[in-house]
């Protein structure tokens, strides 16, 4: 209910109206902004009757102003929803009912609930969802205190902390591990810290033992598009291993990785796609929603959840920032650095700018290239020059490098 979050949902309301109606349309709405200091004082003292009278008076004012319905733009103050309904003849759109509709449409039956301690601990919100058939999970006591403190001591005062964002993501992961198929950001201020809809899928499942594909592929010059390639054998590379491609975004890890997998007769896995599947969102949206350090932690945990063999892995360019992720990949098998000149990288990124780069504010792609090159060289088992030959030739160069016939 603080004005910090009012700015966000007012913008969202108008964006949705413009999206649906087009042109210069905006929302017709009456917005009554209360003094949050007075509301919080009622909450802290437990004087919910006074808080109810305050919001009932606001609802009556909105009715006189010509409103068609009432929305309480806060989760916690739905504790006094009955008092608000008693103060007006207008219908109240209850936030828990609308949330239930969204959860049902998403196929979520068990959901985590984050919010103020009142929302997480008292029945006015939880029981309404439970009555609608949902299992509601809340954090343990220590995490409930942490979330409540972040809301009142930081977000309501306009403080958005990367450390608190990481802590909130960890709490979300704990709820997922307990079986939550989605998480409700049950406080309007929490949307200032992490974006909604990014955690609708339970994160960090183990991905295991895919079967090697045998499908028609295009592997390069002299090979027809529908030719089934015989698999090749690389001495020293066992069926229990994986081959991992590392390198900059735009280096061609995905396209070359598929071709290498086809040459070996192995499975192909793109770890960026696993992150997208984990969060039910494009990689660009995930990197937009998280600060760089939090995204790197997420990427590392996804990598370490892999349980695979006979697979070629194409990784995100930022994976080298987390030593634990790189050590895990090295334990699976050889790491191939696909080294492509900066000019080609810049050209490819310009053609597809929404790649989901894990980049800090103020950094350029050139900065990333120089920063990461040393890390790629440090971790790689072998290096292959790419970007100036066809996909099939580059894939064969990878095989040769693994076989020790090229450096």
Catalytic residues: 74, 187
* Both tokens assigned to 91: 């219908």
Tell me the C-alpha to C-alpha distance, in Å, between residue 140 and each of 128, 129, 273, 315: 21, 19, 32, 34
Tell me the C-alpha to C-alpha distance, in Å, between residue 376 and each of 311, 380, 399: 20, 6, 19
Using alpha carbons, select from 301, 276, 273 the residue that is nearest to residue 286: 276
Separation CA 49–CA 54 (nearest Å)? 9
Residues 307, 331 contacting (CB under 8 angstroms)? no
Separation CA 241–CA 330 (nearest Å)? 10
Residues 133, 201 contacting (CB under 8 angstroms)? no
DSSP of 36-90, one letter per residue?
A: HHHHHHHHHHT-HHHHHHHHHHHHHHHHHTT-SSB----SGGGGGHHHHHHT-SS
- Residues in Cβ contact with 356 at an 8 Å cutoff, skipping those fewer than 6 apart: 272, 282, 283, 284, 285, 286, 287, 316
Tell me the C-alpha to C-alpha distance, in Å, between residue 130 and each of 134, 286, 368: 5, 30, 48
Residues 107, 201 contacting (CB under 8 angstroms)? no
Residues 76, 118 contacting (CB under 8 angstroms)? yes
Separation CA 341–CA 381 (nearest Å)? 19
Tell me the C-alpha to C-alpha distance, in Å, between residue 142 and each of 138, 145, 197: 11, 5, 25
Residues 395, 263 contacting (CB under 8 angstroms)? yes
């Amino acid at each position: 209910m603080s004005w910090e979050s009012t700015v966000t949902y007012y913008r969202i309301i108008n964006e949705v109206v413009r999206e649906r109606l087009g042109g210069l349309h905006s929302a017709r709405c009456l917005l009554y902004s209360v003094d949050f200091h007075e509301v919080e004082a009622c909450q802290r003292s437990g004087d919910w009757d006074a808080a109810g009278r305050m919001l009932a008076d606001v609802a009556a004012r909105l009715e006189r102003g010509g409103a068609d319905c009432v929305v309480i733009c806060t989760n916690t103050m739905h504790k006094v929803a009955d008092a608000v309904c008693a103060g007006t003849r207008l219908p109240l759109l209850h936030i828990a009912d609308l949330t239930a509709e969204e959860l049902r449409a998403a196929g979520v039956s068990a959901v985590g609930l984050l919010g103020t301690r009142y929302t997480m601990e008292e029945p006015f919100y939880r029981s309404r969802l439970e009555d609608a058939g949902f299992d509601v999970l809340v954090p343990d006591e220590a995490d409930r205190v942490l979330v409540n403190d972040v809301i009142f001591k930081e977000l309501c005062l306009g403080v958005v902390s990367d450390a608190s964002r990481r802590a909130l993501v960890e709490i979300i992961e704990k709820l997922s591990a307990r079986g939550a198929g989605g998480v409700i950001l049950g406080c309007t201020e929490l949307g200032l810290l992490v974006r909604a809809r990014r955690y609708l899928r339970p994160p960090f499942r183990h991905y295991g033992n895919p079967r090697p594909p045998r499908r028609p592929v295009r592997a390069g010059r002299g090979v027809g598009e529908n030719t089934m390639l015989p698999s090749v054998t690389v001495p020293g590379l066992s069926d229990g291993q994986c081959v991992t491609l590392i390198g900059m975004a735009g280096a061609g890890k995905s396209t070359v990785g598929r071709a290498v997998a086809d040459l070996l007769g192995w499975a192909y896995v793109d770890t960026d796609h696993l992150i997208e599947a984990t969060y039910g969102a494009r990689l660009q949206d995930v990197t937009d929603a998280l600060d760089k350090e939090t995204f790197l932690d997420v990427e590392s945990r996804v990598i370490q959840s892999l349980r695979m063999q006979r697979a070629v892995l194409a990784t995100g360019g930022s994976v080298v920032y987390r030593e634990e992720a790189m050590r895990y990949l090295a334990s699976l098998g050889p790491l191939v650095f696909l080294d492509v000149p900066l000019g080609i990288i810049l050209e490819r990124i310009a053609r597809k700018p929404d790649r989901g780069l894990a980049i800090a504010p103020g950094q350029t792609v050139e900065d990333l290239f120089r920063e990461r090159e040393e890390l790629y060289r440090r971790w790689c088992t072998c290096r292959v020059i790419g970007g100036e030959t066809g996909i099939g030739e580059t894939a064969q160069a990878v095989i040769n490098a693994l076989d020790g016939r090229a450096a």
